[in-house]
């Protein structure tokens, strides 16, 4: 591809991307844990 002078990729803030990624992983981890606890509780009390 031709070089059009776009340097957006070079100016990315990688520490911020990593912080956002780790926050997302933490959110998903806790969502899964909460879902498992809910399902176990439902299995115990509703069956």
Handedness of CA 35, 39, 42, 44 (dihedral sign): negative
Distance CA 1, CA 37 (A): 51
Q: What percent of the chain has pLDDT over 90?
A: 68
Question: Would you tell me how many other CB atoms lie within 10 Å of the CB of residue 30?
Answer: 10
Q: Rounded to two decimals, what is the model's pTM?
A: 0.68
Q: What is the pLDDT averaged over residues 19-47?
A: 97
- List, for residues 3-22, the tens digit of each pLDDT value: 666 566 567 889 999 999 99
């Amino acid at each position: 591809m031709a070089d059009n002078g776009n340097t957006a990729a070079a100016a990315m803030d990688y520490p911020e991307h990593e912080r956002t990624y780790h926050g997302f992983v933490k959110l998903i981890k806790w969502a899964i844990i909460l879902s498992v606890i809910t399902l176990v509780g439902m299995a115990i009390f509703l069956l």
